[in-house]
Amino acid sequence: MDPHLLTGAHALGALPDAERVEFEAHLDRCRGCAEEAGGLRETAARLGSAVDHAASPGVLRSRVLAAVRRLRQVPPSSEVEAVASLRQGLRRAAGLVLAACATAAAVAGVHATLSTTTTIPVAASPHTRIGDLLAAPDLRLVTAGQPPGTAAVSRSRDEMLFLADGLRTLPDDRVYQLWLVDDRGPRPAGTPDPAGRAASLLVTGIGGVGEVILTVEPAGGSPSPTGPPVITVSLA
């Protein structure tokens, strides 16, 4: 695992003890990671202290039990695979939370029950567009690709929050551009806001869209894709 990709997991305390010790040794040698990890810890702390209310244990229990009934449970094929899957899940969750923080630091807090394709919101601040989207009762979280891209989709709000992590740094004359693909083909959705190796974009007007793709385009964007997809996420 590239240690430069672990700043988010470390900031949220999601690293196992052995990996945490190795990563903290890396921080002593890498000023960039140290500064990024420090900033993410401060952001996570501010968001944690900004939660405006907490659901009662009874409410949380009923929601978790309801989610369990809807989610397919797949047993791990081995104990080693189960541990690896847990670590990957923690890192993915940390990356998504921190990407959302970079996009909208005003979101007070989101507590969700996640599967690989679905998120069930429990509580979110209603004071921003992204907060309203994350609190939508029909919110779905779809992740695909390598590097991973995630679409948080609400059909009732006709909105989607696109998040990508692990992107390579582009030269000044190139940008990442997002495309919405429907029966008529791809149409431009905009250029995601970069935040280091992550990028995010809030999109409105997703009716009939079956998938979203991310490509590399000339600076300023293109009217149609000129290169192969970097990330493809199916919304079906």
Residue-wise pLDDT tens digits, 175-190:
999 999 999 999 999 9
Q: Are 152 and 141 in contact (CB under 8 A)?
A: yes
pLDDT in tens, 67-119: 766 666 555 544 444 445 545 554 555 555 555 554 444 333 333 333 333 33
Q: Are 187 and 178 in contact (CB under 8 A)?
A: no
Q: Is the full-model pTM beyond 0.85?
A: no
DSSP state at residue 4: G
Q: In the chain, what's the furthest Cα-to-Cα distance?
A: 54
DSSP string, 109-175: --EEEE-SS-EEEEE--SSSHHHHHHT-TT-EEEEETTTTEEEEEETTTTEEEEEE-SPPPPPTTEE
Q: Are 176 and 230 in contact (CB under 8 A)?
A: yes
Q: Smallest Cα–Cα separation from 163: which of 231, 235, 110, 86?
A: 231
Q: What sections of the chain are H helices per DSSP?
A: 7-11, 17-27, 31-49, 57-70, 79-103, 129-134
Residue 142 pLDDT more than 70? yes
Q: Are 90 and 114 in contact (CB under 8 A)?
A: no
Three-class secondary structure of residue 222 per DSSP: coil
pLDDT given at position 79 = 44
pLDDT in tens, 29-49: 888 888 888 888 877 777 666
DSSP state at residue 25: H
pLDDT given at position 227 = 87
Return the sign of the alpha-carbon dihedral for residues 150, 155, 156, 158: positive
Query: What's the rounded Cα separation, in Å, for the pair 74 and 209?
Result: 29
- For residue 8, what are the CA distances in angstroms to 16, 166, 180, 228? 13, 12, 28, 29
Query: What's the rounded Cα separation, in Å, for the pair 170 and 166?
Result: 12
Residue the block writes with tokens 């250029």: 191
Strands 111-114 and 198-204, bridge-based pairing: unpaired
pLDDT in tens, 53-70: 566 666 767 777 777 666
